[in-house]
Amino acid sequence: AILGFAALMSGVFGFLSARGLVRPASRLDEMDEALAKGHIQPHFQPLFSLEDNHVTGFEMLARWIKPDGTSISPAVFIPLAEDEHRIDPLIFSLLIQAGEQIGNLLRADAALKMSFNITPAQLLSDGFVERLTKQIDAAGLPRHSLVLEITERQPIADVEKALMVSGRLAELGLRIAIDDAGTGHNGLSSLHALQANYLKIDKYFIDGVTLNRKSFVLVEALVSLGEQFGMTVIAEGIESEDQLVKLRELGIREGQGFVFSRPLPANQLVKLIEEKKRQPMRAA
């Protein structure tokens, strides 16, 4: 009889959950708990000068560390955060943590920049600039050290507004990078919509630069476009010395990728920057 009851209950439960009527500990509840407990943390991938290999800055990347030490990829939880209106709390929490962990580093060296990822929809949301600057100030991060990365993977819904917002950010001392450049579904419209300082060429094209002429020519074209718009061109996802040789040939001055370093927790980033300072710079 007990087995019968259990079978009945699991049948009822299965029926309800298939219809979305009960949600046993959902991913969203887990994310809220992780945010509250500080389990979503910033890692930092250093950015290097391709001319002399010194560190020019770093990109803050979200990491969800589970209590058992395993981690969930941002490719999985960023879309969830976007859908569930957790994208602002997430980046604000990361900025506060970054302020505690690497604020000193930025204050000690005005030439270092820290970038972080903002979605196009987030950039255009009402009151975003005010919310962001308030958080940046609360985090104790110097504005002139910060760069907002806006991906080209998602369309910019309102070009006029984007231009206005990016102009306002510039007035406030913040810089903008166009991220994943070359992947845009709207062609090159991000160049129109954003007043940007940096153009980060997507890994897809960097992967191809040593393999096929098409990628090489596309990167060449992106470099030329970037320069004509007065932007500094950055290569992302560099994995080999051969790619570095090609990218230098193309006149790209900054890059990030596993060939230099993976994203690191703050203490390892600080160590890496201190070690680099002690070493004489290696000419490219």
Shortest Å, Cβ 89 to Mg ion = 19
Is residue 117 near Mg ion by the rule CB under 5 A? yes
Q: Which of ligand C2E, Mg ion, none interacts with 152 (beta carbon under 5 to 8 A by kind)?
A: none
Smallest separation (angstroms) from ligand C2E to the CB of 157: 16
If the CB atoms of residues 91 and 129 are measured against ligand C2E, the closer one turns out to be 91
Residue ranges in contact with ligand C2E by CB under 6 A: 45, 61-62, 73-75, 78, 91, 94, 117, 119, 149, 151, 179-180, 236-239, 256-258, 263
Q: For the CB of residue 21, give the shortest distance to Mg ion in the complex, in Å.
A: 39
Please state the closest distance from residue 275 (CB atom) to Mg ion, in A.
25
Q: Residue 283: CB partners within 8 Å, gap ≥ 6?
A: 52
- Binding site partner of 61, from ligand C2E, Mg ion, none, Cβ cut-off 5-8 A by kind: ligand C2E
Q: Which residues contact 200 (CB under 8 A, 6 or more apart)?
A: 149, 177, 178, 179, 180, 181, 234, 235, 236
Smallest gap from residue 139 Cβ to Mg ion (A) = 19
Question: Hey, what are 192's tokens?
Answer: 């129109």
34 binds, among Mg ion, ligand C2E, none (CB under 5 to 8 A by kind): none
* H or E element in which residue 193 lies: helix 189-193
Q: Pick between residue 23 and residue 259 the one whose CB is nearest to ligand C2E.
A: 259
Separation of alpha carbons 134 and 3, rounded Å? 58
Q: By the 8 A CB rule, do 166 and 195 touch?
A: yes
Cα–Cα distances in angstroms (integers) from residue 265 to residues 16, 88, 182, 239, 257, in the given order: 42, 22, 29, 20, 16
Which of the stretches 70-78, 96-104, 139-147, 201-209 binds Mg ion when contact is defined by CB under 5 A? 201-209
Among 149, 175, 190, 215, binds Mg ion (CB under 5 A): 149
Distance in Å, CB of 202 to Mg ion, minimum: 5
Helix (H, G, I), strand (E, B) or coil at 63: strand
Cα-based angle 186, 190, 193 (whole degrees, multiple of 5): 120
DSSP, collapsed to helix, strand or coil, labels residue 91 as helix
Instruction: Provide the binding-site residues for Mg ion, judged by CB under 5 A.
Output: 117, 149, 179-180, 202-203, 236
